[in-house]
Amino acid sequence: MSGLQAPIVNWQIKAGESKAGFEEHRILLISQSAGAGVAKELLEDVQQTEIITLCGAGSMATMAFNRIKKFNKVTEIDIIPLAEPAGATKAQGGIKVAGTATENKTLNFKIGDDEFEFNATIIEAETAGEVAIKIMNAINAKTNYPFTASIDAGDTSLVLIDFKIAGEVANGLISKINTRVLGLTFTTQEFTGGAGAYDADGIFDTLTKRYHTVIFDGAMSFDAVEEFLESRVNMTNTVKGGVGFTMKNGNYTALKAFANSKNSKTMVCFGNLDEMKFNAIPLLAVAEFGAKRALRLTDGAVLGDIVLEAQEAFGGINKSSLPYHNTPMSYDQPKNEIIIEQVQDLNDAGLSLFVPATIGVVLGTLVTLYKYDNTGIEDNTFKYLNAIDTSMAIQEYLFSNTKKEFGQTRATGGDLVSGVAMTNTVSVKAYIVGLYEDLVAMALAQGGADAIKSFKKNLIVTLDVASGIYAVYAPTPIVSQFRGLNGVVAIGYEFN
């Protein structure tokens, strides 16, 4: 049979008309390290099998990495290791013992973070000095914990506890005695005296990947992280936005003043108040939160342990608009609480909190540090973390899909020609309206006939024919969160 048959027919295989999805979530951890990883050089996609080699056993980076992996085993983690500050001093706390034991008891206590738990066996008739030695020995026996203990040279009933890593990272940590022992009293001393900040100059200069979640502690420059993330919100021809998370220890007045001094849509600061103190190492607390946030935003991830409603039990980009309120955290309740008006006052300043609840400890309302627009006018647009998460998800979806759809098309100021790849303002506008309807289905944008009509009415698409550049103005009303309910209960009495 001849190969020169007529007519010649070609059947081609091509990709379907699928929509562009969302980039996989990625965490950046910035922290002290003491391993083979070179300080200030990015370690990409670090694995559980190599963390100790790269960052050292007992380093802040290793502890934070392990806390993330405890709750989230799927998200990629990059690490910028930082050297322990040169010439830094270590923070020190203490436990003071008084009295003589009148019963046999196992003393349970936690230091620095509820993850670090200790036990000491107390025998009836033991003195304060003897009990202090047992507390010291219990601490020093846990060589994988970041603490060492000694007896004060001038007071044999005082256990001095040093944080192993020098610098500001441990200031404000507390110890908790969880057991009552008859005849004995215990007084804990907060960790103080840590001094020294990280050398982090230039660590962001070579970063090219997008980081949705950036985790760092108090020895890292807050302003440097803020500047890096703020510069990425609206970059040309790419989407790089993310949010930074840290925690600060301090009293109500100092933490409120810090929050009021900042104004950033890309930064979330948790406050661990002296007036409602959780036993938490700040970096580990935000590492746990970051792990759970990343899991929530990962398509198909199982969320049964971190959301309350069964219908929300799988992760995905639609969780951008789901409030974090009542997400459980693995901490014990504090001894003291503040009132709801104080919580709201701190939220208004831009401070986020862990709060006690009937189910333990949960996340309260999560806010960014954003309060004012560029003109200094009070503005709530990006006040809540959900608002910036939702806005960034919408930005990414519109960017990725318009880039994919119009990557090889002609632009015309006139009518379209049938059968050729061509766009005009009408076709571009119609496509963007279709994307908006997708966002409604993802619970990111407001739905309903009125909302879609309003979006169409306010959507403006113009074309500069000479340059072939479309200008699009697409104000998108996002889904907000249910944050409160005000009502009146009226009780009536009827007399017969």
> 237's torsion region: left (phi>0), alpha (psi -120 to 50) or beta?
left
For CA atoms 321, 322, 323, 324, give the dihedral sign. Answer: negative
Q: Which helix (H) or strand (E) holds 189?
A: strand 184-192
Say which residues have a Cβ less than 8 Å from residue 467's Cβ, sequence separation at least 6: none
Three-state DSSP at 429 gives helix
Q: Which helix (H) or strand (E) holds 258?
A: helix 252-260
Long-range contact pairs involving 302-309 (C-beta distance under 8 Å, separation at least 24): 306/71
Q: Per-residue pLDDT for 485 more than 90?
A: no
Q: Which residue in this structure is represented by tokens 């000694």?
A: 150
Q: Where does the pLDDT of residue 18 fall: very low under 50, low under 70, confident under 90, or very high at 90 and above?
A: low
Domains, the chain, ranges and CATH?
Answer: 26-83+199-385 (no CATH), 92-192 (3.90.1160)
Span between the terminal Cα atoms of the chain, in Å: 107
Q: Per-residue pLDDT for 2 more than 60?
A: no
Sequential DSSP letters for 350-406: TEE-EEEETTEEEE---B-S--B-TTS-B--TT-BHHHHHHHHHHHHHHHHHHHHHT
Do the Cβ atoms of 383 and 400 come closer than 8 Å? no
Question: Exposed/middle/buried for 5, CB within 10 Å: 0-12, 13-18, 19+?
Answer: exposed
Three-state DSSP at 227 gives helix
Q: Which helix (H) or strand (E) holds 81?
A: strand 76-82
* Model pLDDT, residue 23: 86
Give the integer Cα–Cα distance in Å for 137 and 148.
9
Summarised one tens digit per residue, pLDDT across range 95-140 is 999 999 999 999 999 999 999 999 999 999 999 999 999 999 999 9
Who wins on pLDDT, 187 or 418?
187
Buried b (16+ CB within 10 A) or exposed e, 44-58: eebeeeebbebbbee
Peptide bond into 323 cis (omega under 30): no
Do the Cβ atoms of 200 and 218 come closer than 8 Å? no
Question: Exposed/middle/buried for 351, CB within 10 Å: 0-12, 13-18, 19+?
Answer: buried
Give the integer Cα–Cα distance in Å for 225 and 222.
5
- Percent residues over pLDDT 90 in the chain: 72
- Percent residues over pLDDT 70 in the chain: 93
Say which residues have a Cβ less than 8 Å from residue 342's Cβ, sequence separation at least 6: 252, 275
Amino acid at 279: N
Q: Where does the pLDDT of residue 305 fall: very low under 50, low under 70, confident under 90, or very high at 90 and above?
A: confident
Please give the backbone phi and psi of residue 372, each rounded to the nearest 5 degrees, phi first. -135, 150
Summarised one tens digit per residue, pLDDT across range 440-483 is 999 999 999 999 999 999 999 999 988 888 888 888 888 865 54
Mean pLDDT of 297-321: 84
Q: Per-residue pLDDT for 496 more than 60?
A: no
Q: Per-residue pLDDT for 190 more than 70?
A: yes
Average pLDDT taken over every residue of the chain? 91
Q: Per-residue pLDDT for 81 more than 60?
A: yes
Per this entry, what is the length of the chain? Answer: 496
Summarised one tens digit per residue, pLDDT across range 84-94 is 988 899 999 99
Give the integer Cα–Cα distance in Å for 123 and 120.
10
> Tokens at residue 211, please?
């980081």
In the sheet with 117-122, reading across from the earlier edge strand, the strands are 117-122, 105-111, 175-177
Give the integer Cα–Cα distance in Å for 230 and 496.
68
Q: Cα angle vertex 475, ends 473, 476, to 5°?
A: 135
